[in-house]
Amino acid sequence: MFSIGKITLANPLILAPMAGISDLPYRLINRSLGCELAFTEMISAASVVYKSKSTLKMLSTNPKDKPLGVQLLGNDAELLKRALDIVSAYNFDIVDFNAACPVSKVVSGGKGAGLLREPEKLQKLLKVIVEYSTVPVTVKIRTGWGETSINAVEVALCAQDAGVKALFIHGRTKIQGYSGTVDYNIIRKVKETLKIPLIASGDALSPQLIGKLFEETGCDCVALARGALGNPWLFRETAEFLRTGDVPGRPDVHEIAQTMREHLAGSIAFKGEEIGIVNFRKFFAWYTRGMHVKDLRSRAFLAETEEEMLNLIGEVDNSEAANIECVPSDT
């Protein structure tokens, strides 16, 4: 069992927030295969306050999408207060603050991983969020800005002192982004320092790698990000692996195709046919990784209607080339 505040989870695996990815249909697909706790996409506090239509759409949820956290991005205390007041109406279970995003346009504004350079400012912002939030607050950080400025332990202690209920850490620096080696040692040092739960992420791409992340760091929970793209079965498979030590078999092509149909239907219902199809194109590519269906992937990126996309999924379902033993864990 794993707890954040009063939220208790049977499964120590969380669906990490991903910008441009973690919408309602995506979350529901992962929940259907074992995910308990998920988060919205990273959401700008300023965009919430100024009521951007696209941003407010990101806050959409339904009764099956619980427990659910909202991840906020910002560096202005007043805007964060106002954003918290607005999102409180959506009855989220957790508020997560992003101090980890390495994207240049985010960092250049002193947000995301940019706050790793200002631990005191980050702590002040977290104190404001904790004070004004009606639900438990968490924060996501990285190991530091670069290899010569590893400060995860200092930042983590600042966050704990600010009153957050759990801390997420990606095991790379801002400079690394998503390349290079995950630093298990730093994650372990953070875990040994904190009294609150630690959720680790970074290269959580297969049951074996997730097991290694638990073993090497002593973390309480692992957040799945890239590993779950087109592979929601990672939740089910990892839970079995952690329980038994056995590597479970992969879903067959028919199960993959049926999940693709369900995801497509959800995307269209949520965003309308035109945008839903465009949104699903990238997922078509992710679901078919490892399959010898390059032509179908190319055609999927040109598909404009539900009928076209369903026909392509049907071809995947019936293709000899699509029959695979596993989805590669390193892509």
- The catalytic residue positions are 101
> How far apart, in whole angstroms, are the C-alpha atoms of residue 213 and residue 105?
30
Name which of 212, 260, 198, 206 is nearest 236 in CA terms.
206
- With a CB cutoff of 8 Å and minimum separation 6, the contacts of 248 are 207, 236, 237, 240, 241
Backbone angles phi, psi at 54, to 5 degrees: -65, -35
Which residues, other chains included, contact 91 with Cβ-Cβ below 8 Å and sequence gap of 6+? Answer: none
What is the CA 105 to chain-centroid distance, rounded?
A: 20
Q: Which helix (H) or strand (E) holds 153?
A: helix 152-162
Structure tokens at 219: 């973390």
Contacts of 102 (CB under 8 A, 6+ apart): 112, 113, 142, 174, 175, 176, 177, 178
Residue 232 burial (10 A CB sphere; 0-12, 13-18, 19+)? buried
Beta bridge partners of 325: none
User: How many other C-beta atoms are found inside a 10 Å radius of the C-beta of residue 147?
Assistant: 12
The neighbouring-strand residues paired with 44 are 73
Token code pair at residue 323: 């029959």
What's the CA gap between 328 and 190, in Å, rounded? Answer: 31
